[in-house]
Amino acid sequence: MSAGWAPASAHPANLDGYNRLRSPICAAKHGRDGLMLSRGPDAGSEERTFEDVLRVLVMGRPSWYPLGAEVATEHQIPVLPLVEVDKSPSEMLAFDKVVGAADRSRALINFYVDDRKLRRLIRNPERFITRLEGVWGITSPDFSVWDEAPPHFRVMATWLNRALGRMFADHGLRVVPSIRWCDRRDYDHCFLGVTPGSVVAISNNGLWRKGRLRHGFIMGLGEMVERLSPPSVFLYGTDDRLIRRELGSGVEVIHYPAERARAGKAA
């Protein structure tokens, strides 16, 4: 490991070619018009998000980058601090709904939201620090990964996740690494930047009913346990015996239903 600031494999690829990919995504998000698993011609929020990322990389190191952070492999993925849990958070909320927390000190804030909302993080993440003060912790920001996206875009999603997470950690927030993969092609980078033995967060919200995406999610669980040895996993979305079987009896699963599931039960 060494110090650095940008993934070696990230460079400004042809955006027009990338925009044509628009295949099912492995990070299903909720937008104003409902669940978004595939992209229509007027729904290019993720493409615009990655355009923002490319502009940052072309212009040079972003002002918020955590200088001096330890990084992993040639991808230069920033490493997040170890997170241990003595008392689990009582609820998990989206970062734009932190004001609704029943008890901020027991709330885990996630970034499993429409990528349009994450664009603000790329441009000026430090503005959100004061809004997040006093919470139990946050997950590292989660960016969508396309099934057929070129490799450097997939690596970039992990790099941005860890870079922003490390920036928040350096400002005193507890940051739980959020692990995102689509299939085995992501294994060489999606587990980087996570200290073995740390608690981690995963989400299958929106992809569980999509057979191929569900299969990819399930297949990566054992790989995650083998590489990271997490004592506990915060699971956002659907809980299922298949998930617990793949994680194994030695891993504690702390389940948080997705917001829509909670709303349905309350109705």
Q: 16 versus 238: which is more confidently predicted? A: 238
The listed range with the strongest mean pLDDT (29-43, 55-69, 75-89, 106-120) is 75-89
N-term to C-term CA, the chain:
50
pLDDT, one tens digit per residue, over 237-254 is 999 999 999 999 999 999
pLDDT of residue 89: 96
Q: 135 versus 151: which is more confidently predicted? A: 135
At residue 26 the predicted structure's pLDDT band, cuts being 50, 70 and 90, is low
At residue 203 the predicted structure's pLDDT band, cuts being 50, 70 and 90, is very high
Q: Percent of the chain having pLDDT more than 70?
A: 75
pLDDT, one tens digit per residue, over 72-108 is 999 999 999 999 998 999 999 999 999 989 999 999 9
Q: What is the CB-side half-sphere exposure of residue 61 using CA atoms within 13 A?
A: 10
pLDDT of residue 55: 67
At residue 45 the predicted structure's pLDDT band, cuts being 50, 70 and 90, is low
Average model confidence (pLDDT) for the chain?
82
Q: How far is CA 233 from the centre of its chain?
A: 14
pLDDT of residue 259: 78
How far apart are alpha carbons 47 and 128 in whole angstroms?
Answer: 23
Whether the pLDDT of residue 163 is over 90: the answer is yes
Cα-only R_g, the chain? 17
Length of the chain measured in residues:
267
Q: Which two tokens stand for residue 86?
A: 């003595």
pLDDT of residue 158: 94
Q: 151 versus 249: which is more confidently predicted? A: 249
Q: Which two tokens stand for residue 81?
A: 């601090």
